[in-house]
């Protein structure tokens, strides 16, 4: 079941539905990217969203929904790249090496379209971890129930809309989780349900190690959360901004949160 607020918010969108035929998004197009992700050529048939609990107020809900909108938009462009360019692609090889494209395509589709009504967001800092990590934790999955993701106020102030892509620095500089939509995709993977009991996990989080997994441990690159986040962010950036803004992977600053 779709989150009804999410759906109703966007049924109000007035932007024309895209009739995209191009393989890659043309930056001069006036198409609304979200419409493209939902209704256009890159559409998801039936994206599914986790429940937003009533502990989230109207402002929280709007910001979480905006992040979820971004997450399906980014994921749709990543899927499109996978389908168009396959695994014999520099971007694919950089993050997944010779890892299985079926696993990558499967996970990206699963992140968007798997049923999620039994996982939820809450905004009440029920375990107090937002309060005890005020400048470092944008959210957390509950130890007592990892189907519940707590969103901290730091999320709203630190995570950026995809519309700001490439503004605050390169993806290497900011990390992909700088963007709310991509951060939310990674939060799904902290749940047992969406990670298949941590089959997909954070094996490597630092850039040199992530790149090393692609080259030397590809069957785990396709099980590594951050490898997906970089692939999705780079695919999206490359599609919507000429040249993208990956940055120098061999010269990363200190890591994202
Ligand atoms: C976008 O429009 C500008 C100005 O007309 C043109 O120079 C540029 O090549 C176009 N870019 C693409 C990707 O079509
Ligand atoms: C909603 O909660 C946030 C804290 O998460 C608070 O900053 C904001 O003022 C609240 N908004 C409303 C409309 O109550
Ligand atoms: C865990 O969280 C989910 C999502 O909020 C909820 O449906 C479920 O009842 C919770 N499980 C327990 C044992 O509390
Ligand atoms: C690949 O990574 C996994 C998870 O860190 C590790 O258990 C395994 O030993 C690694 N395999 C190789 C060949 O390095």
Which helix (H) or strand (E) segment holds residue 148: the answer is strand 145-151
- CB of 117 closer than 6 angstroms to any ligand 3 atom: no
Atom 14 in ligand 3: which residue has the minimum CA distance?
A: 145
Ligand 4 centre distance from Cα of residue 101 (Å): 19
Tell me what pLDDT residue 46 has.
86
The atom of ligand 4 lying closest to the CA of 204 is: 5
What is the rounded CA–CA span in Å between residue 188 and residue 177?
A: 13
Average pLDDT for residues 116-144, to the nearest whole number? 97
CB of 201 closer than 6 angstroms to any ligand 4 atom: no
Q: What are the tokens at 237?
A: 């950036």
- Mean pLDDT (whole number) for 156-177: 97
Q: Which of 69, 48, 52 is nearest to 60 (CA)?
A: 52
User: Which listed ligand is nearest to 130 at the C-alpha?
Assistant: 2
Q: Where are the domains of the chain?
A: 5-9+22-240
pLDDT at 33: 61
User: Domain 5-9+22-240 belongs to what architecture?
Assistant: 3-Layer(aba) Sandwich (3.40)
Contact present, 175 and 252 (Cβ < 8 Å)? no
Contact 181, 173 (CB under 8 A): no
pTM given for the model: 0.86
- Report the distance separating Cα 80 and Cα 89, nearest Å: 13
Rounded to the nearest angstrom, the distance between the alpha carbon of 123 and the centre of ligand 4 is 36
Nearest CA, atom 9, ligand 3 = 118
CA quadruple 165, 46, 229, 143: dihedral sign: positive
Residues 41-95 have pLDDT tens digits of: 567 888 999 999 999 999 999 999 999 999 999 999 999 999 999 999 999 999 9
| Ligand 3 proximity of 29 Cβ (cutoff 6 Å) | no
Q: Which of 184, 204, 180, 203 is nearest to 194 (CA)?
A: 184
Protein residue with least CA distance to atom 4, ligand 2: 153
């Amino acid at each position: 079941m779709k989150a009804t607020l999410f759906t109703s918010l966007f049924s109000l969108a007035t932007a024309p539905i895209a009739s995209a035929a191009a393989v890659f998004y043309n930056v001069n197009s006036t198409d609304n990217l979200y419409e493209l992700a939902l209704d256009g050529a890159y559409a998801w048939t039936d994206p599914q969203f986790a429940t937003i609990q009533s502990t989230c107020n109207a402002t929280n809900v709007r910001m979480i929904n905006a992040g979820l909108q971004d997450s399906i938009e980014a994921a749709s462009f990543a899927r499109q790249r996978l389908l168009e360019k396959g695994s014999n692609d520099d971007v694919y090889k950089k993050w997944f090496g010779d890892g299985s494209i079926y696993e990558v395509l499967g996970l990206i589709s699963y992140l968007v379209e798997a049923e999620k009504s039994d996982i939820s967001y809450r905004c009440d800092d029920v375990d107090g971890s937002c309060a005890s990590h005020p400048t470092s934790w944008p959210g957390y999955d509950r130890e007592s129930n990892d189907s519940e993701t707590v969103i901290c106020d730091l999320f709203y102030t630190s995570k950026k809309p995809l519309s700001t892509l490439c503004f605050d620095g390169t993806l290497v500089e900011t990390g992909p989780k700088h963007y709310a939509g991509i951060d939310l995709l990674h939060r799904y993977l902290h749940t047992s349900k969406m990670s298949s009991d941590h089959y997909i996990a954070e094996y490597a989080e630092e850039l040199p190690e992530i790149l090393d997994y692609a080259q030397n441990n590809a069957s785990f690159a396709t099980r590594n959360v951050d490898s997906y986040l970089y692939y999705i962010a780079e695919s999206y950036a490359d599609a919507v901004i000429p040249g993208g803004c990956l940055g120098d992977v061999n010269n990363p600053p200190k890591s994202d949160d």
